[in-house]
Amino acid sequence: MAHNIDFHAATGAMGGGDISLVNPGEEVTIRFKATKTGVFVYHCAPGGTMVPLHVTSGMNGAIMVLPRGGLRDEKGNPVHYDKAYYIAEQDYYVPKDAAGNYKTYPKPSDGFPDMLKVFQTLTPSHLVFNGVTGALTGKNALTATVGEKVLFITSQANRDTRIHLIGGHADLVWLGGSFNDKPATNYETWSVPGGTAVAALYEFRQPGTYAYVNHNLIEAFVFNAVAQVKVSGKWNDNLLKEIAKPHLMSPADTLLMP
């Protein structure tokens, strides 16, 4: 099949899509100058309905263009991060047969006519992070240590999403992915519009397992648009402390209830 790459970070020629189009057995080399800093989506865009068919088959990613002087906070001070994680939310539109079972095909192109019918409903069959269910949970969870600053780069090439780190925040978030703009501060949830990547920085302050989720909670916990960050370190009671363990309410407590 024909393929190309539209770099949202590039200027002109459909982001390089016009000059990178190749047919089976062909290769092409292109070059572009990164004139904007930030995090940007790239995706396959060979034209017509092939664009959503390729993008919703996973043919997308992100590129980060850092400022020469490094990242800056909202006051213009230099920002460092200890590690960076890339998390891509992917929507799939897998057809089902008359019995409700997911269909399989000898080759991907054979399923495109049926996929077209599914994605015309605008309802994904699957929503996952980094390609498959469980890619970033359990034994595949991301890791960090208390005191580490982690830069999370999240992309969505097709649909809008909203990201929340359960138990944490975005200390800094570059809305729209632009490093040329001052970052916003202390966001609880931040938007990633379809066709963008967004960077957020957080310094972990407590150990434990954090959930990094699409905060449409149906999409997170039913469709599995969720990742985990396992953080090691010492607990700080000043930030959060259990005062009394769960216990049965006394009759006096019950009487005080409205």
| Non-local CB neighbours of 165 within 8 Å, separated by 6+ positions | 152, 202, 210, 211, 212, 213, 229
| Residues 154, 192 contacting (CB under 8 angstroms) | yes
pLDDT at 251: 77
Token pair, residue 87, equals 């998390």
Catalytic residue numbers read: 3, 6, 8, 43-44, 54, 59, 164, 188-189, 215
Eight-state DSSP code of residue 96: B
Q: Span 212-228, mean pLDDT? A: 97
pLDDT reading at 249 higher than 90: no
CB atoms within 10 A of CB 5: 23
Q: DSSP 3-state assignment of 163?
A: strand
pLDDT at 108: 83
Domains and CATH numbers, the chain: 70-232 (2.60.40.420)
**DSSP string for 2-36:** -B--EETTS-SGGGGTTTS-B-TT----------S
pLDDT reading at 250 higher than 90: no
- What is the per-residue pLDDT across 119-148, written as a single tens digit (0 to 9) for each? 999 999 999 999 999 999 999 999 999 999
- What is the per-residue pLDDT across 176-212, written as a single tens digit (0 to 9) for each? 999 999 999 999 999 999 999 999 999 999 999 999 9
Distance (Å, whole) CA 104 – CA 182? 47
Nearest CA-CA partner of 189 in 154, 218, 159, 215: 215
pLDDT reading at 256 higher than 70: no
